[in-house]
Every structure is written in structure tokens, then in C-alpha cells.
Amino acid sequence: MRFLFATTPDHQGALTPFANACRRAGHQVLVAGPEPLTDELRFWPVANVRTAIREWAPDLVVGQPGAIADVVVDPGLLTSGSCLTLVPESLDGASPGAVRFRDPVAAWNPPVWGEWERPREPAAFVALNETVAVSVPRTAVLRNAAVVVSHGAEILSALAAGTPLVLVPRSARERFDARRISELRLGVVLDGDLDDAIRRVLSFEIYTDRARRIRDEINALPSVDEAVDVLMHLAETRATAA
């Protein structure tokens, strides 16, 4: 089947695991929007998704809330309506219609860089000293960190590793997500000195304990690879109704 993933830079990370899963299952995948996170995915650098739909003729369009799409992947910590999501129920409550999965990348503790048998992921740069830095898989860093400092893009990746957060939100969406993380005692929002915020998270075991509970909840979800069957069923239903 042909699956078109329509995305923007802000929501690209949420759709990419589903796109990779479709590709691994042998389907044709096209990403309409910015260049995807992995070079295995073809991308269509256009702002008008209708152009990609007309010229490529996909069986199903997967997109973000409010976009042109047959099925929605919701990237937010509070989902709404029928959607696919990587967010566990503890973060967003019992949202009717949400079908939840986990990203196998987030649960992978890679022994080496670049195995395609496991989904690829972005690199993290770790400074060994003032002049030397090495590039390593991001999950390896998150799993060995005591706390993650982020604007907000690493929330799910950090929690999948059982690591609490110090959040420095910039956008309205990031501030919303940061408040949710603070409410659930999964981390703190920076309000003052960074060292003090990190010490606060490290000084109270509740932050790490709750982050590990979320990690266990994420690990209990079905793999995003199982979402392919859901997408295929939706595509077949759409074709029958046409």
C-alpha cells in the first residue's frame, strides 16, 4: 500500500515512527513536508499536501490534528478524539478514541551505531572534555542520564528511559506540556537557576520513581509496528467506501 505522511517540523517526530513502521512492513511511504529524520524515507518538500495527494495517489493520508488526513497522529500530551498516539494514558488521561503504541527506538539500548534491524535514531553529542565530543545514539544517553534538560522535544524519549526532566519551554505548546509534567511530578519547569532545578529533581526520589512508572507503562504498550495493521484496515475501509 501507499501511505502518505503529511507533517510539519513541529510534529515530524510524532509521525516518523509510524512512517518507519510502514516502511519496515514493505509498504511505500512518502513524507510530505520537511525532510524526515531518517534518510530511508522519501520526502516531498511541498507546503501544499493536496499536490502530493493528487500526484502520488496514496491509499491513506496520515497527518496531524487539523490537517488534511484520513487518520490523525496526535503529538500532544493531551490527545483528543480518534487518533494514534505514542503518549501513555497516564500523561493525557483516558482520551476516548486514542489508540496507543510505543516507539521501539525509545526502548532500544543500542550496542552499536547504525543497525537497521533496529530503527535508526538521531544522534546526541556528548562532550568528553572542552575540545572532544562524540556522537552516540540518543537512547544510550537518555538511559544513562540522571536527569534530562530539554525545551520539550525530549519528553517522551526521556520518560521512555525512566528519566525525569528539567524543562525550559519556549513555545505555548511547550509551556503547556511542561506544566503537565510538573503536575505529575515527572520533572520541574525551570524558574531560576538551572543547577538548583537539577538538584531539586535529584534530591527527591518521587521524580525518578514516577518517571520509571511511566517507562513501565510505555513498555507495556504494543509496538508501533502493530499500528501498520490498523492503518491497512483504515485504508481498505476507505477504498471500499469510495
CATH, residue 37: 3.40.50.2000
Position 108 in a domain: no
Residue 135, domain member (yes or no): no
pLDDT for residue 114:
35
Cell reading at 107: 526502548
User: What's the domain range around 61?
Assistant: 2-102+222-241
Q: Which pLDDT belongs to residue 175?
A: 92
Task: For residues 233 and 190, state if they share a domain.
Answer: no
One domain, residues 97 and 170: no
Query: Would residue 81 count as lying in a domain?
Result: yes
157 within a domain of the structure (yes/no): yes
Whether residues 7 and 96 fall in one domain: yes
**Can you read off the three cell numbers belonging to residue 207?**
521524580
- Taken in order 226, 71, 19, 158, the sign of the CA dihedral is negative
CB 149: neighbour CB atoms within 10 A? Answer: 17
On whether both 20 and 93 belong to a single domain, the answer is yes
pLDDT per residue as tens, the chain (242 positions): 999 988 776 677 788 889 889 999 999 988 877 655 555 556 555 557 788 888 889 999 998 877 788 888 877 776 666 789 998 999 887 777 889 999 876 554 434 333 333 444 444 545 455 555 556 666 777 777 899 999 888 898 899 999 999 999 998 888 999 999 999 999 999 999 999 999 999 999 999 999 999 999 999 999 999 999 999 999 999 888 86
Strand partners, 126: 134
188 in a structural domain: yes
Exposure string for 197-215, b = 16+ CB within 10 A, e = fewer = bbeebeeeeebbebbebbb
What's the total number of domains in the chain? 2
Regarding whether 92 and 73 lie in a shared domain, the answer is yes
Strand-pair category, 60-63 with 2-6: parallel
